[in-house]
């Protein structure tokens, strides 16, 4: 990992190219082992529609949609097994830039295929006591247009293209800010053999 000058955009800390290519490849290899134990699933939203992204998790807890409710659970919703540990390659990024004394409780793994997106949302299910810790997001694979807002869903937003190896830190005023993925430029980066984008979101959780 190399040191990159930080760029502040709408309270979000963007670290372009933080993870070099060799580090990206090693991380993808580690994630493949995680997904062998905790396969990707396509959650059904509370309003009955499947999400366009597929998800899994690593760590003490995983984020799930259960009976129409967003929550953290200690087991995979289909296998019933505990989540695999967060890979060392991923923890190294958290430890390098989060400024938090402990490890994250959850590494949410989102896979974006062709046409997948993520509407504006905020990470607010972790519990009030967890909001002092930042959320760290790692991009792997195809570029994606990342939209950043503020405390109100209908407030002004701006966007930036995130490339493979870029890292975003959402702390302070950005910790509960709305954000999302408008689109993925599918097939533009060869990191993933079949194309697509992996986004890792590292979070501290105090609600479960």
Whole-angstrom Cα distance, residue 110 to residue 40? 8
pLDDT (tens digit per residue) in 65-87: 887 788 999 999 999 999 999 99
Q: Which tens digit of pLDDT belongs to each residue from 120-152?
A: 999 999 999 999 999 999 999 999 999 999 999
- pLDDT at position 94, please? 98
Fold that domain 7-203 belongs to in CATH? Jelly Rolls (2.60.120)
The answer to whether 196 touches 114, Cβ cutoff 8 Å, is yes
Q: Where are the domains of the chain?
A: 7-203
Tokens 């807002």 belong to 149
**Bridge partners of 158?**
148
Phi–psi pair at 27, nearest 5 degrees: -65, -40
Q: Among 128, 189, 121, which Cα is nearest to 161's?
A: 189
């Amino acid at each position: 990992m190399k040191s990159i000058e930080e760029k502040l955009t709408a309270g979000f800390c963007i670290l372009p190219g933080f993870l070099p290519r060799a580090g990206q490849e090693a991380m993808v290899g580690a994630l493949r082992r995680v997904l062998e134990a905790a396969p990707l699933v396509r959650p059904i939203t509370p309003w009955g529609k499947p999400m366009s992204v597929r998800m899994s998790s690593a760590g003490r807890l995983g984020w799930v949609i259960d009976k129409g409710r967003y929550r953290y659970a200690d087991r995979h919703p289909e296998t019933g097994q505990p989540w695999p540990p967060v890979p060392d390659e991923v923890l190294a990024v958290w430890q390098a830039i989060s400024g938090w004394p402990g490890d994250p409780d959850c590494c949410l793994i989102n896979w974006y295929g062709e046409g997948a997106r993520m509407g504006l949302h905020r990470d607010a299910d972790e519990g009030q006591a967890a909001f002092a810790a930042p959320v760290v997001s790692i991009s792997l694979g195809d570029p994606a247009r990342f939209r950043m807002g503020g405390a109100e869903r209908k407030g002004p937003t701006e966007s930036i293209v995130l490339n493979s190896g870029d890292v975003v830190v959402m702390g302070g005023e950005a910790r509960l800010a709305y954000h999302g993925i408008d689109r993925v430029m599918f097939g533009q980066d060869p990191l993933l053999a079949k194309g697509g984008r992996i986004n890792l979101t590292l979070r501290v959780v105090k609600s479960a």
